[in-house]
């Protein structure tokens, strides 16, 4: 406990005169000019809290002379890169059904699936010391020591491949004022079925300049090294981190929701949870798709074209081309108008069209209802 409090005080830069702390076992207290390291493990499985912790460390810890490795896992979540489009990267309706969260991180890169079987590692360093290759060497060397028979290689895209083919790790990073963080995933025993279900587009026909993901076949370490325990893996990674960087840091547990240890972290997590950050930061995009409309009594069908421009997650313009023989132009026009200015979100849109549906009680009610459903389905 005393050790943890000291660690956290050090992180906040409240060290004062370090030499006055006699008898401390922390390496950076004993060394005068050498760089020092710290290994932290998050106790939280909340993706927003963990992402907020990363931002907190980056903003508040002096990394000019220090390196930090943060180990963390999340309960099921999809994490998209800074400039990605969630509607094109993941299946939002499926995620809602499965209770899988969506988070947008501040680093670049592509979309990944997190769950308890995925281990995240964040390497914090100064901008000068930023070296993804070296960080990945920590991971590949640790794995090679644990299981020398495994074919593990880092690529020049900073992926880690198993057997030259299966992606077990992806990388992303962020550079800020003076510091950097490089984080990567490591698929240990993730739910691959959930992964492939959620890493699909929510709707077809999206045109966007958002940064795309590069899909890859994946594998879990556990399937190729069945006797490998997670604890063993964690220990090996910590040891290899210390070896690679010349540190001798033990692993300290941290609670990213602890406001006294990390003042302001709660506000950061709140921002990461917000709709404005997660969806509102999506680069402007356009959806062009065909809607298949149908009647049951008597059976009839019709195709309609939908064109929507979405800016900052909101409908900027909407054009619905529904044949006048199917439904009066005034009704499809009204629907388009009602959606402009609303969030590109099925719940918000449903609320917006509800009044319109209520007031149209005539012969076109059911076709209008069907049209609304078809449009809402496009919104994920």
Partner 1 sequence: MAAYALLRSMSSSFPSVLPLLSRSGSLSPAPLAITPFFRRTLASSSRFSAALKFTDKHEWVRVEDDGVGTVGISNFAQEALGDVVYCGLPEVGTELVQQDEFGALESVKAASELYSPLTGEVVEVNSLLADNPGLVNKSCYKDGWLMKMTIAKPAELDSLMDEAAYERYIRSIED
Residues that bind partner 1 (CB under 8 A): 81-83, 106-109, 130, 172-177, 180, 182, 209-211, 281, 283-284, 312
Q: Specify the residue, 284 or 348, whose C-beta has the smaller distance to partner 1.
A: 284
Q: Specify the residue, 108 or 328, whose C-beta has the smaller distance to partner 1.
A: 108
Q: Specify the residue, 95 or 308, whose C-beta has the smaller distance to partner 1.
A: 308
- Per DSSP, the residues of 199-225 read SS-SSS-EEE-SPPP----B--HHHH-
* The residue to which tokens 């050790």 are assigned: 3
Report the alpha-carbon distance of residue 313 to residue 279 in Å, rounded. Answer: 6
How far apart are CB 43 and partner 1 at their closest, in Å? Answer: 27
Report the alpha-carbon distance of residue 350 to residue 365 in Å, rounded. Answer: 15
How far apart are CB 18 and partner 1 at their closest, in Å? Answer: 27
Q: Specify the residue, 26 or 285, whose C-beta has the smaller distance to partner 1.
A: 285
How far apart are CB 50 and partner 1 at their closest, in Å? Answer: 18
Q: Specify the residue, 128 or 165, whose C-beta has the smaller distance to partner 1.
A: 128
Burial class (CB in 10 A: 0-12, 13-18, 19+), 25: exposed
Report the alpha-carbon distance of residue 268 to residue 176 in Å, rounded. Answer: 16
Q: Specify the residue, 73 or 281, whose C-beta has the smaller distance to partner 1.
A: 281
Q: How far apart are the first and last CA of the chain?
A: 46
Q: Specify the residue, 209 or 305, whose C-beta has the smaller distance to partner 1.
A: 209
Residues ≥6 apart with Cβ < 8 Å to 280: 274, 312, 313, 314
How far apart are CB 268 and partner 1 at their closest, in Å? Answer: 13
How far apart are CB 158 and partner 1 at their closest, in Å? Answer: 9
How far apart are CB 214 and partner 1 at their closest, in Å? Answer: 12
Residues ≥6 apart with Cβ < 8 Å to 217: 165, 166, 167
How far apart are CB 315 and partner 1 at their closest, in Å? Answer: 16
| Sheet with strand 112-114: strands edge to edge | 101-104, 77-80, 112-114
- Asked whether the beta carbons of 317 and 285 are under 8 A apart, the reply is no
Half-sphere exposure of 76 (CA within 13 A, CB side): 18
How far apart are CB 107 and partner 1 at their closest, in Å? Answer: 5
Burial class (CB in 10 A: 0-12, 13-18, 19+), 137: middle
Q: Specify the residue, 212 or 333, whose C-beta has the smaller distance to partner 1.
A: 212
């Amino acid at each position: 406990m005393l050790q943890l409090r000291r660690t956290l005080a050090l992180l906040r830069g409240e060290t004062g005169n370090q030499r006055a702390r006699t008898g401390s076992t922390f390496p950076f207290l004993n060394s005068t000019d050498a760089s020092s390291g710290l290994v932290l493990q998050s106790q939280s499985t909340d993706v927003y809290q963990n992402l907020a912790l990363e931002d907190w460390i980056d903003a508040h810890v002096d990394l000019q002379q220090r390196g930090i490795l943060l180990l963390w896992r999340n309960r099921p979540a999809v994490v998209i890169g800074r400039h990605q489009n969630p509607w094109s990267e993941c299946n939002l309706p499926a995620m809602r059904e499965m209770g899988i969260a969506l988070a947008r991180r501040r680093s670049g890169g592509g979309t990944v699936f997190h769950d308890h079987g995925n281990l995240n590692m964040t390497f914090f360093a100064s901008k000068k010391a930023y070296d993804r290759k070296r960080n990945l060497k920590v991971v590949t060397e640790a794995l090679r020591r644990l299981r020398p028979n495994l074919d593990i290689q880092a690529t020049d895209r900073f992926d880690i491949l198993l057997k030259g083919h299966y992606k077990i790790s992806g990388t992303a990073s962020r550079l800020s004022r003076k510091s950097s963080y490089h984080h990567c995933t490591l698929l240990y025993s993730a739910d691959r079925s959930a992964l492939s279900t959620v890493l699909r587009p929510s709707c077809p026909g999206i045109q966007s300049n958002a940064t795309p993901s590069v899909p890859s076949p994946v594998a879990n370490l556990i399937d190729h090294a069945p006797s490998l325990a997670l604890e063993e893996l964690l220990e090996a990674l910590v040891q290899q981190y210390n070896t690679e960087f010349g540190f001798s840091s033990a692993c300290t547990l941290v609670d990213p929701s602890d406001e006294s240890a990390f003042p302001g972290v709660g506000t950061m997590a709140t921002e990461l949870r917000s709709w404005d950050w997660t969806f509102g930061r999506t680069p402007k995009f356009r959806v062009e798709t065909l809607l298949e409309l149908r009647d049951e009594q008597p059976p009839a069908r019709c195709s309609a074209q939908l064109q929507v421009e979405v800016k900052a997650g909101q409908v900027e313009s909407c054009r619905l081309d529904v044949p006048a023989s199917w439904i009066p132009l005034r009704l499809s026009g009204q629907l388009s108008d009602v959606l402009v200015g609303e969030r590109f979100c099925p719940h918000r849109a449903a609320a917006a069209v509800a009044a319109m549906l209520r007031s149209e009680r005539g012969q076109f009610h059911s076709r209008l209802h069907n049209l609304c459903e078809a449009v809402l389905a496009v919104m994920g």
